[in-house]
Amino acid sequence: MTYPHPVIAREGWPHVALVALAAGATGWLAGWWWSIPLWLATAFVLQFFRDPPREIPGTARTVVSPADGRIVAVERTQDPYLHRDARKVSVFMNVFNVHANRSPVEGEVKACWYSAGSFINAALDKASRENERNALWLRTASGIDVTCVQIAGLVARRILCYARAGDRLARGQRFGFIRFGSRVDVYLPLEATLKVELGQKVYCGATVVAEL
C-alpha cells in the first residue's frame, strides 16, 4: 500500500501520455498553432492527476479528510452500511481538486462494499444513495467503527480502491482515486467531535475532520 508520491498520480500516466502524444503529433503534422488546444488539454490533465505528499496531523483518535474539496454535508443520519445512527461528513471534489483518496483513520478494513449506480452531480445529497459508490468499513485499534464511501460524480466514470478486507491502513494513507469529479462520505459515531463546518475547504489527509 506504500506510494512514493510522484508529481503525477500513477492513475494519470496513460492519460497524460495520450493527450501529450496527440498534441505533439498535431503540432508536427498540422502546425503548432493547431496543437494549442491539445496542449491546454494536456495542462488540464496534468493538474487533475497531481498528487502532492501531505503531512498527516493528529493522534490515533484524529479523523482526517479523505479527500480534497469542499464540505457539502455535516449532519446526523443513518449509516447505510453499518445500520447505525451516525454523523456524516461529505466532501465534494470538483475537477480542479486533487482526486487521490486517503484513509480518514488508522485501522483495519473489516469489509468493502461496491454498489453500481447512476452518475448525478456529486454535490447533491442524493448522490450518496443513487450514484456508483465503494464503501470501506474501518475499525480503529480502540474498536471505533468508521465508514468511508467513495462516490462517483456527474463526469466520473471510474472509482479505484486498492484496499481489501483484512488490510490495515494508516491515518492518511492513500487507498484509492476517483477520476473527474466526485464525492467522499465519512460516517462517524455520534460521540465524535466534529471539527469542520458546511462550505469549508479541506485537504486530503491534512485537514482534521473530527476527534473520536
Residue 8 DSSP class: B
- Beta strands 168-169 and 107-115, pairing class: antiparallel
Annotated catalytic residue 182? yes
Residues 6 or more apart in contact with residue 128 via CB below 8 angstroms: 73, 88, 90, 149, 151, 183, 185
Q: Among 10-24, 26-40, 58-72, which is the least confidently predicted range?
A: 10-24
pLDDT digits (tens, 9 = 90+) for 56-67: 999 999 999 999
What's the CA gap between 184 and 101, in Å, rounded?
A: 8
| pLDDT value of position 1 | 43
pLDDT digits (tens, 9 = 90+) for 114-171: 988 666 665 666 667 777 889 999 999 999 999 999 998 766 567 889 999 999 999 9
C-alpha cell at 116: 453500481
- When comparing pLDDT for 12 and 194, which is higher? 194
- When comparing pLDDT for 91 and 53, which is higher? 91
C-alpha cell at 82: 453499518
| pLDDT value of position 185 | 95
Q: What is the mean pLDDT of the chain?
A: 86
Overall average pLDDT of the 175-202 stretch: 91
Provide the strand spans (E) within 58-152: 62-64, 69-79, 84-93, 100-102, 107-115, 133-139, 145-152
| pLDDT value of position 122 | 58
Residue 189 DSSP class: -
Question: Of all helices (H) and strands (E), which one includes residue 194?
Answer: strand 193-194
* CA distances in angstroms from 55 to 128, 157, 204, listed in the order given: 29, 29, 10
What's the CA gap between 133 and 135, in Å, rounded?
A: 7
Catalytic residue among 65, 90, 103, 182: 182
Give percent above pLDDT 70 in the chain.
88
| pLDDT value of position 16 | 73
Overall average pLDDT of the 75-82 stretch: 95
Residues comprising the chain, all counted: 212
| Residue 92's pLDDT band (cuts 50, 70, 90) | very high
User: What is the value of pTM for the model shown?
Assistant: 0.83
What's the CA gap between 49 and 203, in Å, rounded?
A: 15
Map grid coordinates 450514484 to a residue. Answer: 131
| pLDDT value of position 5 | 56
